[in-house]
Copies of this chain bind each other. A is one copy, B any other.
């Protein structure tokens, strides 16, 4: 059984109010030195078989159609070592 990680983040040109809220809260909570925070989603996809090229192509299609909104989000797919 292999685990594939799909990270979904807002595209850089899309405003991220959640990340901005966190970044603005930090100084108030005593943290300095943070320039920016962006928040996204992480999916752990456990495959029944090995993470071969066909399975990864399937996960990429899954990310494209189900996990990410590709109008405003980018995704990356990688096999967990």
- Report Cα–Cα, A58/B26, bound state, in Å: 11
Number of residues on chain A facing chain B (CB within 8 A): 34
| Copies of this subunit | 2
Chain B residues with CB under 8 A of A65? 29
Tell me which of B7, B29, B37, B48 contacts A34 (CB under 8 A): B48
Chain B residues with CB under 8 A of A22? 43, 66-67
Chain B residues with CB under 8 A of A66? 22, 25-26, 29
A42 interface hit (Cβ, 8 Å): yes
State the A residues within 8 Å of B (CB).
1, 7-9, 19, 22, 25-26, 29, 31, 33-49, 55, 58, 61-62, 65-67
